[in-house]
Amino acid sequence: MQVNYIQVAIPVPMRQLFTYIIPQNINSAELHIGARVVVPFSHRQVIGIIISTSTTCDIEDKKLKAIISLVNDNFRFPPTLLNFLQRCANYYHHPIGDVLQLALPVLLRQIEQPTIDLATTWHELKTEIADESSVAIEKAAKKAPKQVALLSLIQAHNGITWAEIRTLGFTKAQLNALEKKQLIEEKKQNPIPFVYQDSTLAEEEKLTLTVEQAVIVSAVKQSFGEFSCHLVDGVTGSGKTEVYLQAMERTLAANKQVLVLVPEIGLTPQMLSRFEQRFNLPICLHHSGLNDKERLQTWLAAQRGTAAIIIGTRSAIFSPLHHLGLIIVDEEHDGSFKQQDSFRYQARDIAILRARLLNIPIVLGSATPSFESLQNALSGKYRYHQLTKRAGQSTQSKITLIDVAQQQMEHGLSGTLKKAIENILKRGEQALIFLNRRGYAPAINCQECHWIADCQRCNKSYTLHQGQKLLICHHCSSQKRIPYQCPSCGSVRIKPMGQGTEQLEERISELFSDYSTVRIDRDSTRKKGELAKLLQEVSDKKHQLLIGTQMLAKGHHFPDVTLVAILDVDGALFSFDFRAAEHMAQLLVQVAGRAGRESKPGKVLVQTNFPEHPLLQDLVNNGYPHFAKYALTERKQALLPPFSYQALFRAEANYPSYPEKFLRSLTEFSFQGCQFAGPVPAAMEKKAGKYRYHLIVQAKSRKELHLAIYQLIHHISQNEWQKKVRWTVDIDPLDLSW
Ligand SMILES: [Zn+2]
Ligand SMILES: [Zn+2]
């Protein structure tokens, strides 16, 4: 049958496909679903994706435009991936063109075709004269221990890419030095699918499993080739990574690929090294630190089957893995799996969808499972596995509350805490001080007239960054010089108010001047490679005092830290956000789990004004699982997620009445099983000059919710206010604060 028309997804904010005519000079047999075409759109040319073809069309031919050309490079979305992405677009009510565009590497979104070089990998160079290289290694060992460490990494994993080497904390200089010494060589990688051999698995690296671990490994292996979701609820240090590694064996042995999602690559070098050492197979990393060329290489390695294992952050879920056999989501509770702008997907949730569509198993792991996953496990929807024992002899860090209401505070530190820090420093151990507030001070004010430096666009105070000598708004990123005089009364007595990590670092260095202090937050690790460098310095014990934000609660383990201090938890106890307590508990337990080792268990001190608060008491005395189950019964009574389903409409405009009226007009409709809450001003009512309002739609079932959202979006297209506001819809919203 003659195909005359194609339907194309285009990266525009419209929830529809666009129909084009196929011109004479293009052979319709070459137009494959999922391939890229160049099409005219308004006054420009764009890359579109072919979604379907047809022989007839309802629109008159003269009203249609013809496609310009077919991008004939064989890089197209495989049908299973395309189907998955369409399901995602439907679920999140997001324009399909935008979703497909996000799943495509930047270089394939451009009309100009990229030149694609073969990926190169690094290998150990075996010389004829073995003595020569061992002399060179010996010499290097003394002067350059990092070079030796890099060499053993390359030896352990023959064929590692520069992107991986860099992510594991090594520099180009170290790599070049090894090449100059003729210890390693670069090879072009053959783009052929990987093949599992007996020598692939480093048996000697395998750890003996506990009974609990063995049960999980065998359950995951048994579900090979069929969909099942396993929640591994295991305290930190209980050996989840070993479970992942052994559960992967069967999939890899069948020459199927494994996708591992992690919250943040830079903080998990220890885990990456273990993957490298266990399997002599091509592993690809996918994260935001890659440049466009590296991203395309990773995409191709996934598509061609060259990569056996892909380890990546959130957006790695869109990798075009051709032979995917198993998905693992580590630290599944982590908020960074949720994209917070434009296409607001939750990578963990759509990973489960992808596993279901492909009929493969998926493993979710966490020491502090999200309430959503826990409820699915408790209700029997997921297979529920618990790892209650820490590997080896180590015990879980104990959490103790410090009542600060009665204490004299010095720079945010109570006397009790100060003494505890002194004690462990004397013993030669390390302390981690946790404060979830970057910058020097959350505000500056005038001591005479109490004027506060506010960002006019957000009505929130500027954060003082002393190091950069700037005032920075953490909400819209606008910057301002620090005023010398108060603009209101002319006084020069302008002082910082409150305390951020930058100031804490300064104060702690003064208080404990005999010891070295290091700060790890988004500001101090902005430079490429800086995070890996600082983490290395901590493990080399160059610093005794470690100050950080929630970044430190992710993945990385500090065996010599025996004291963790949490300066302030009170904000979460009285938040309007019903998830605040859940997140606070996860953070506390996660930070606690990063500390200590078998011989030196860690201790966690938490400063609070409300030591009798029932949630804190439950968490401290009974642990996370008990706390979570209790909090879930509260959610059930209040009919909050996971016992109901929510969508959040956000709207903003230059005037507060516009978003308010726009959202109010939506509440005039009614839908079966659905309720509206709002419209209300967002917690952060003004941001970057725009007034923001929220409307929550809540339903007892997903089906009812989606039906309502679908109809509401249809109503919006005919709404008089829609042109005056910017609006978005967020399905299963995680953060209600903005
Ligand atoms: Zn003043
Ligand atoms: Zn601002």
Residue 3 Cα to ligand 2 middle (Å)? 53
Instruction: Kindly tell me if the per-residue pLDDT of 26 is higher than 90.
Output: no
For residue 193, give the amino acid letter.
Answer: P
CATH class of 398-438+500-637: alpha beta
Residue 443 Cα to ligand 1 middle (Å)? 14
pLDDT band at 449 (very low <50, low <70, confident <90, very high): confident
Of the listed ligands, the closest to the CA of 488 is 1
Instruction: Kindly tell me if the per-residue pLDDT of 129 is higher than 60.
Output: no
Residue 92 Cα to ligand 2 middle (Å)? 29
**3-class state of residue 8 by DSSP:** strand
pLDDT band at 355 (very low <50, low <70, confident <90, very high): very high
Can you tell me the distance from the alpha carbon of 630 to that of 618, in angstroms, rounded to the nearest whole number? 9
Predicted pLDDT of residue 18: 93
Residue 490 Cα to ligand 1 middle (Å)? 6
pLDDT band at 348 (very low <50, low <70, confident <90, very high): very high
Of the listed ligands, the closest to the CA of 451 is 1
Q: List the alpha helices (DSSP H) in 255-401.
A: 269-278, 292-304, 347-358, 371-378
Of the listed ligands, the closest to the CA of 687 is 2
Predicted pLDDT of residue 128: 60
Please give the structure tokens belonging to residue 70.
Answer: 């077919």
Of the listed ligands, the closest to the CA of 459 is 2
Residue 69 Cα to ligand 2 middle (Å)? 45
Residue 489 Cα to ligand 1 middle (Å)? 4
pLDDT band at 699 (very low <50, low <70, confident <90, very high): very high
Instruction: Kindly tell me if the per-residue pLDDT of 258 is higher than 80.
Output: yes
Of the listed ligands, the closest to the CA of 454 is 2
Residue 689 Cα to ligand 2 middle (Å)? 8
Ordered by start, the domain boundaries in the chain are 5-108, 120-188, 198-385, 398-438+500-637, 443-497, 645-731
Residue 506 Cα to ligand 1 middle (Å)? 26
pLDDT band at 315 (very low <50, low <70, confident <90, very high): very high
Of the listed ligands, the closest to the CA of 445 is 1
Residue 461 Cα to ligand 2 middle (Å)? 8
Predicted pLDDT of residue 118: 72
Predicted pLDDT of residue 711: 93
Q: In which residue are the tokens 């700060």 written?
A: 519
Residue 573 Cα to ligand 2 middle (Å)? 26
Q: In which residue are the tokens 């493993």 written?
A: 363
Residue 435 Cα to ligand 1 middle (Å)? 29
Of the listed ligands, the closest to the CA of 487 is 1
Residue 454 Cα to ligand 1 middle (Å)? 13
For residue 504, give the amino acid letter.
Answer: L
Tell me the fold of 198-385: Rossmann fold (3.40.50)
Predicted pLDDT of residue 394: 55
Which superfamily, per CATH, for 5-108?
PriA, 3(prime) DNA-binding domain (3.40.1440.60)
Can you tell me the distance from the alpha carbon of 88 to that of 103, in angstroms, rounded to the nearest whole number? 11
Residue 444 Cα to ligand 1 middle (Å)? 11
Tell me the pLDDT tens digit for each residue of 649-695.
Answer: 999 999 989 999 999 999 999 888 999 988 888 877 888 888 999 99
pLDDT band at 220 (very low <50, low <70, confident <90, very high): very high
- The answer to whether 50 and 31 are in contact (CB under 8 A) is yes
Residue 493 Cα to ligand 1 middle (Å)? 8
Of the listed ligands, the closest to the CA of 472 is 2
Predicted pLDDT of residue 718: 85
Residue 566 Cα to ligand 2 middle (Å)? 28
Most confident segment among 149-153, 256-260, 407-411? 256-260
Residue 339 Cα to ligand 2 middle (Å)? 21
Residue 479 Cα to ligand 1 middle (Å)? 21
Mean pLDDT of 453-474: 84
Residue 447 Cα to ligand 1 middle (Å)? 7
Tell me the pLDDT tens digit for each residue of 708-733.
Answer: 999 999 999 888 888 889 999 999 99
Q: Which residues contact 293 (CB under 8 A, 6 or more apart)?
A: 107, 114
Residue 728 Cα to ligand 2 middle (Å)? 20
Tell me the pLDDT tens digit for each residue of 365-402.
Answer: 999 999 999 999 999 999 999 988 776 555 667 888 99
Residue 518 Cα to ligand 2 middle (Å)? 29
Of the listed ligands, the closest to the CA of 684 is 2
Most confident segment among 4-13, 86-95, 288-297, 549-558? 86-95
Phi first, then psi, for residue 233 (nearest 5°) are: -100, 100
Tell me the pLDDT tens digit for each residue of 288-313.
Answer: 878 888 888 889 889 888 899 999 99
| Cross-strand partners of 729 | 649
Mean pLDDT of 304-329: 93
Residue 461 Cα to ligand 1 middle (Å)? 15
Of the listed ligands, the closest to the CA of 447 is 1
Residue 471 Cα to ligand 2 middle (Å)? 10
Residue 357 Cα to ligand 1 middle (Å)? 63
**Residue 4: which of 72, 67, 77 has the closest Cα?**
67
Question: Do the first three CATH levels of 5-108 and 398-438+500-637 match, i.e. the same topology?
Answer: no
Q: Which residue has the higher pLDDT, 406 or 378?
A: 378
Residue 654 Cα to ligand 1 middle (Å)? 30
Instruction: Kindly tell me if the per-residue pLDDT of 116 is higher than 80.
Output: no
Taking the CA of residue 262 as centre, how many other CA atoms within 13 Å lie in the half-sphere pointing to its CB?
Answer: 23
Residue 250 Cα to ligand 1 middle (Å)? 69
How much of the chain, in percent, has pLDDT values that exceed 90?
36
Q: Identify the H or E element spanning 657.
A: helix 657-666
Q: Mean pLDDT across the chain, nearest whole number?
A: 87
Can you tell me the distance from the alpha carbon of 696 to that of 709, in angstroms, rounded to the nearest whole number? 11
- What is the pairing mode between strands 460-461 and 645-653? unpaired
Residue 687 Cα to ligand 2 middle (Å)? 6
Residue 325 Cα to ligand 2 middle (Å)? 46
Residue 128 Cα to ligand 1 middle (Å)? 77
Residue 492 Cα to ligand 1 middle (Å)? 8
Residue 482 Cα to ligand 1 middle (Å)? 14
How much of the chain, in percent, has pLDDT values that exceed 70?
95
**Residue 691: which of 650, 638, 723 has the closest Cα?**
650
Residue 438 Cα to ligand 1 middle (Å)? 25
Q: Which residue has the higher pLDDT, 83 or 440?
A: 83
pLDDT band at 168 (very low <50, low <70, confident <90, very high): confident
Residue 412 Cα to ligand 1 middle (Å)? 26
Residue 693 Cα to ligand 2 middle (Å)? 17
Residue 419 Cα to ligand 2 middle (Å)? 39
Residue 478 Cα to ligand 2 middle (Å)? 6
Residue 692 Cα to ligand 2 middle (Å)? 13
| Cross-strand partners of 361 | 228
Tell me the pLDDT tens digit for each residue of 572-609.
Answer: 777 777 888 898 899 888 888 877 766 677 788 999 98
Q: Which residue has the higher pLDDT, 497 or 353?
A: 353
DSSP 570-631: HHHHT-SSTTHHHHHHHHHHHHHHTB--SSS--EEEEEES-TT-HHHHHHHHHHHHHHHHHH
Tell me the pLDDT tens digit for each residue of 411-431.
Answer: 888 999 999 999 999 998 999
Which superfamily, per CATH, for 645-731?
Ribosomal protein S10 (3.30.70.600)
Residue 498 Cα to ligand 1 middle (Å)? 18
Taking the CA of residue 373 as centre, how many other CA atoms within 13 Å lie in the half-sphere pointing to its CB?
Answer: 30
